[in-house]
């Protein structure tokens, strides 16, 4: 019996899912929160039940030990040996990683080094990788990068029109993110359409708290909205997305204390997007409620959000010179029929049209009208499964 665990570790949290492989059956999943803070919380979901423990969890190694001991205590595993593989989600792989990789010390150091590109994500991921290496040193350990799928982008798309030396000296370029998700939903979309992916032009919209749009041609990413870091592209929960870069020096001239990398990063990463405009919430459900109640700021936030999504989809119709399908996925894409309707309604000229009878809460598959030229789909993403499959692939190759 072989069990593989998918890990998505952040600076203070660790999300996990345990699979029976190769059956791809989810045995248990959970979330450890508030690592390094007081009153840490570990939640395990198993057999339709949920168990929660609150205790101090000082670091990632203790979090992983807790998770493994929970699995034993709940009789999910009899001993650590049953776990034969672990896969870690890493946001930034930079130019080092064009695909998933087996973990060794050099790989961990590279993940740490790339923290500059994903300051909210890579440091926590590295801690998670080290914790598993310490506790389960012998198992197949794999890192799966959000950026890997986008390494197929052509140079015209990934370079910024700034002096070459910034690319040459610091590798300032577009890397994108959410690649595992975009790749998975594009492959699933080809199945839904019953056509080989090699002949399809797709635009995949991963819209959750973080959001990115990707142009996928023949199964390969040819452009994506996130940039050097996950701050670029469309408007998000707390992130601004694309801006006129002159805004930064303009603000620094007026508020000199913003001339601090950490402070200015915070302004655009944590205080902007839906939250910044609505002054209410970064959560789309609250924004929709506010709009329905006639709140002006929430309405503006919602309308701006839809506007930015439409513009990116329009751009990518141009990049691809046509499109066969639009895919919606992640928290908002999978759950909000209203967002999907409003985005597609504004793109009717392209031959996109959503069928209100199909575009309902819980929809899965095609939601466009039968006659529409472009198929619009809802496809739930499953990054954890892709990670578990990658671990399996490396295990079988060894």
Binding site for ligand ADP (CB under 6 A): 208-210, 237, 283-285, 288, 330-332, 335-336
- CA geometry: angle 320, 321, 326, nearest 5 deg: 55
Q: Which of 312, 315, 292 has its CA nearest to residue 302? A: 292
Question: The tokens 């792989």 sit on which residue?
Answer: 93
**What is the smallest separation between the CB atom of 89 and ligand ADP, expressed in angstroms?**
11
**What is the smallest separation between the CB atom of 135 and ligand ADP, expressed in angstroms?**
26
Give yes or no: 146 in active site: yes
Nearer to ligand ADP by C-beta: 103 or 330? 330
For residues 318 and 309, the answer to whether their CB atoms sit within 8 Å is: no
What the block records as the tokens of 158 is 């990934």
Nearer to ligand ADP by C-beta: 19 or 302? 302
Helix (H, G, I), strand (E, B) or coil at 178: coil
**What is the smallest separation between the CB atom of 291 and ligand ADP, expressed in angstroms?**
11
φ and ψ at 92, to 5 degrees?
A: -105, 120
**What is the smallest separation between the CB atom of 286 and ligand ADP, expressed in angstroms?**
7
Catalytic option among 146, 223, 337, 390? 146
The two counts, helices (H) then strands (E), for the chain are 14, 14
DSSP summary character for residue 89: E
Nearer to ligand ADP by C-beta: 4 or 329? 329
Beta strands in the chain (DSSP E): 2-9, 14-21, 25-33, 40-46, 49-55, 83-90, 101-102, 140-145, 201-207, 211-217, 220-224, 325-329, 365-366, 375-378
Nearer to ligand ADP by C-beta: 7 or 21? 7
Nearer to ligand ADP by C-beta: 40 or 237? 237
Nearer to ligand ADP by C-beta: 91 or 114? 91
- CA contacts within 13 A on the Cβ side of 93: 26
For residues 102 and 396, the answer to whether their CB atoms sit within 8 Å is: no
Helix (H, G, I), strand (E, B) or coil at 354: strand
**What is the smallest separation between the CB atom of 381 and ligand ADP, expressed in angstroms?**
8
φ and ψ at 50, to 5 degrees?
A: -125, 130
**What is the smallest separation between the CB atom of 236 and ligand ADP, expressed in angstroms?**
8
Q: Which residues are catalytic?
A: 146
């Amino acid at each position: 019996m072989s069990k593989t665990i998918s890990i998505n570790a952040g600076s203070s949290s660790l999300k996990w899912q345990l699979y029976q492989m190769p059956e791809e059956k989810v045995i248990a999943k959970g979330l450890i929160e508030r690592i390094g803070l007081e009153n840490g919380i570990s939640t395990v979901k198993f057999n339709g039940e949920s168990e929660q423990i609150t205790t101090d969890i000082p670091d990632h190694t203790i979090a992983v030990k807790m998770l493994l001991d929970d699995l034993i205590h709940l009789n999910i595993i009899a001993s650590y040996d049953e776990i034969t593989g672990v896969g870690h989600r890493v946001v930034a792989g930079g130019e080092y990683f064009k695909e998933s990789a087996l973990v060794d010390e050099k790989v961990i150091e590279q993940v740490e080094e790339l923290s500059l590109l994903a300051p909210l994500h890579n440091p926590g991921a590295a801690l998670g990788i080290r914790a598993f290496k310490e506790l389960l040193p012998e198992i197949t350990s794999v890192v799966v990068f959000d950026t890997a799928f986008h390494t197929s982008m052509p140079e015209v798309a990934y370079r910024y029109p700034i002096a070459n030396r910034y690319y040459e000296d610091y590798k300032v370029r577009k890397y994108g993110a959410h690649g595992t998700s975009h790749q998975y939903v594009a492959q699933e979309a080809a199945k839904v359409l019953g056509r080989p992916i090699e002949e399809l032009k797709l635009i995949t919209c991963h819209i959750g708290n973080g959001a990115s749009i990707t142009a996928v041609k023949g199964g390969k990413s040819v452009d994506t909205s996130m940039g050097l870091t996950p701050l670029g592209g469309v408007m998000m929960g707390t992130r601004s997305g694309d801006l006129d870069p002159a805004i930064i020096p303009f603000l620094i001239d007026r508020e000199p204390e913003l001339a601090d990398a950490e402070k200015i990063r915070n302004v655009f990463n944590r205080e902007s997007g839906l939250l910044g405009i609505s002054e209410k919430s970064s959560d789309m459900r609250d924004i929709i409620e506010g709009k329905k109640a006639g709140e002006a700021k929430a309405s503006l936030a919602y309308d701006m959000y839809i506007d930015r999504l439409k513009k990116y989809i329009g751009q990518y119709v141009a990049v691809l010179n046509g499109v066969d399908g639009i895919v919606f996925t992640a928290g908002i894409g999978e759950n909000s029929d209203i967002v999907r309707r409003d985005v597609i309604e504004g793109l009717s000229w392209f031959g996109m049209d959503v069928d209100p009878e199909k575009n309902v809460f819980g929809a899965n598959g095609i939601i466009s009208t039968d006659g529409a030229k472009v198929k619009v789909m809802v496809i739930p993403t499953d990054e954890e499964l892709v990670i578990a499959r990658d671990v399996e692939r490396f295990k079988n190759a060894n």
